[in-house]
């Protein structure tokens, strides 16, 4: 009977498991092929899931709804009519001289500075809305000055913003 030390002398150096022929892991060629295939899939499939216009559309829709809500709140707090015009972007104005009469020429300023307006991002479609809120927060048509008779829906791409007629609620 041979001892363990004699058995280790008969093995080639560096091969501890000389009798075992199982494969462990992947070859470099297999890894490279898988990485190339994943790269091709990512280049073709990912733009379908993450288009920038979807995010810009969602952000602009949220910002527009926030601007309309701000205009309503500003009209209630200040007691002065506040206009929201959405066409190629949005902008907020108040009457320049008198809170109830006159043209909407005074630009509403943001708290941090600058005007409360924004242009529509490239690739985003936008409907039109032109209303003003009175001191009670009720929406009026800008052109005629009459109270809104029905809900107004503003389309921003695939999204929509609805302005309720009597309360001025935006959703």
**Confidence bin at 22 (pLDDT 50/70/90):** low
7: pLDDT strictly greater than 60: no
**Confidence bin at 54 (pLDDT 50/70/90):** confident
What distance in Å separates the CA atoms of residue 84 and residue 67, rounded to the nearest whole number?
Answer: 8
**Confidence bin at 3 (pLDDT 50/70/90):** low
* Residue 169 domain-assigned (yes or no): no
CB contact at 8 A, 81 and 108: no
Please state the domain count of the chain: 1
**For 64-108, what is each residue's pLDDT tens digit?**
999 999 999 999 999 999 999 999 999 999 988 888 888 899 999
**For 131-156, what is each residue's pLDDT tens digit?**
999 999 999 998 888 899 899 999 99
* Residue 148 domain-assigned (yes or no): yes
Under the phi-then-psi rule, with left for phi > 0, alpha for psi from -120 to 50, and beta for the rest, what region is 46? alpha
Q: What is the CATH number of the domain that holds 82?
A: 3.55.40.10
Q: Is pLDDT larger for residue 45 or for residue 52?
A: 45
* Residue 75 domain-assigned (yes or no): yes
What distance in Å separates the CA atoms of residue 171 and residue 87, rounded to the nearest whole number?
Answer: 19
* Domain, as residue range, for 110: 52-163
The full DSSP string for 60-108 is HHHHHHHHHHHHHHHHHHH-S-EEEEESSEEEEEEESS-SSSS-EEEEP
* Residue 122 domain-assigned (yes or no): yes
| pLDDT given at position 153 | 93
| pLDDT given at position 17 | 56
Which of 158, 127, 128 shows the shortest CA–CA distance to 51? Answer: 158
**For 105-126, what is each residue's pLDDT tens digit?**
999 988 888 888 999 998 888 9
The pTM score is 0.70
| pLDDT given at position 156 | 92
What distance in Å separates the CA atoms of residue 103 and residue 94, rounded to the nearest whole number?
Answer: 8
């Amino acid at each position: 009977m041979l001892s363990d030390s004699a058995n280790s002398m008969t093995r080639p150096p560096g091969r501890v498991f000389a009798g075992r022929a199982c494969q462990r892991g992947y070859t470099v060629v297999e890894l490279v092929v898988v990485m190339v295939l994943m790269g091709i899939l990512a280049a073709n499939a990912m733009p379908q899931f993450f288009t920038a216009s979807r995010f810009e559309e969602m952000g602009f829709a949220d910002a527009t709804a926030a601007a309309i809500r701000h205009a309503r709140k500003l009209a209630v707090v200040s007691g002065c009519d506040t206009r929201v015009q959405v066409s190629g972007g949005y902008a907020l104005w108040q009457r320049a001289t008198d809170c109830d009469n006159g043209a909407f020429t005074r630009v509403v300023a943001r708290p941090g500075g600058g005007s409360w307006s924004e242009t529509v991002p490239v690739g985003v479609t936008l409907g039109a809305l032109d209303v003003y809120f009175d001191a009670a927060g009720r929406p009026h048509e800008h052109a005629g000055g009459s109270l809104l008779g029905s809900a107004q829906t503003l389309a921003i791409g695939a999204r929509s913003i609805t302005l309720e007629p009597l309360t001025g609620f935006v959703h």
